[in-house]
Amino acid sequence: MHRVLISPHRISGCTATLDDPKQLHHLCAVLRLKAGDRVCCFDGQGAESAGTISHLTRARMTVRLDQRPETGARGRMLWLALGLIKAPRFDWLIQKATELGATRLSPIVTERTVIRLTDTQGRQKRERWRRIAEEASTQCSRADVPVIDPPQSFPTLLPLLGDVPLVLIPTLAVSARPFREVLRGSGAGDVAVLIGPEGDFTSEEVAAAVKVGAQPVSLGRLTLRSETAALACLASRFPTGTPVSVERLRQVDRCEQGVRALGFTQVRARFH
């Protein structure tokens, strides 16, 4: 059953209405759906319901839902603050973080960040990342779409972390306890993880994060790419002791070529 993202404001009772030109073009011209076909509508905030298309043109679609969509109980927050890296890899990371359940993504600029964006570029990039996250949620059957924050500096981000029970900062800049050991022993529900750019955080940045309650952690002996470190942290949701192998990453990526393009040939993330 095809999935369709519809704004909560366009869902009234058991009727959902879509007027987004890009989605309608895809539904009509690519998927060739028609009145009477079944679809699953979700609002990007956790509510979804199957329904039947009652009207569909290139300008508008109306769906008669089987039941009124209701948002379920709020789950665990997985907040990733990601040091900006080059566009193809950062776009890929947004997609995979969405598939692995991240609920909030905050692009950050640190001292060693190479990518610098103007305000206009930041707005344009944020809109692109939002679309990527929406498409990934549609593909992986998520009913919600992660929040995408505008790019911001690392010092600007730090005060926002005060209400998060557990904040972790993987780094090689200082000695640290293993990531999974800290995660298992915390008992915390919501978690924020700060991922540095290529070259890691500076020791001063780590110290500033510690001042607001962050705990330095280690992802093992190897030096990981930023996107690899982020996925390794998200993959901690898998059962304890299960290695994150190439096969696991291929299952997540659903495309062997994409994995090879990022250098995953013989990778085995270590969690102590």
Per-residue pLDDT tens digits for 1-60: 899 999 999 999 999 999 999 999 999 999 999 999 999 999 998 899 999 999 999 999
pLDDT of residue 64: 95
Sign of CA dihedral 167, 172, 174, 177: positive
Predicted confidence (pLDDT) at residue 155 exceeds the cutoff of 70: yes
Question: Is pLDDT at 168 greater than 50 in this prediction?
Answer: yes
3-state secondary structure 224-258: CCHHHHHHHHHHHHCCCCCCECHHHHHHHHCCHHH
Residue 122 CA: distances (Å) to CA of 125, 130, 151: 5, 12, 6
Residue 106's closest CA among 165, 145, 150, 75?
150
- Side-chain half-sphere CA neighbours of 190 within 13 A: 11
Between 156 and 241, the higher pLDDT residue: 156
Single out the residue of 22, 261, 234, 10 nearest to residue 248, CA to CA: 234
CA distance 155 to 204: 11
| Element housing 37 (H / E) | none
Angle at 147 between CA 171 and CA 163, to 5 degrees: 60
Is 96 within 8 Å of 132 (Cβ atoms)?
no
Cα–Cα distance for residue pair 131/125, rounded to 1 Å:
10
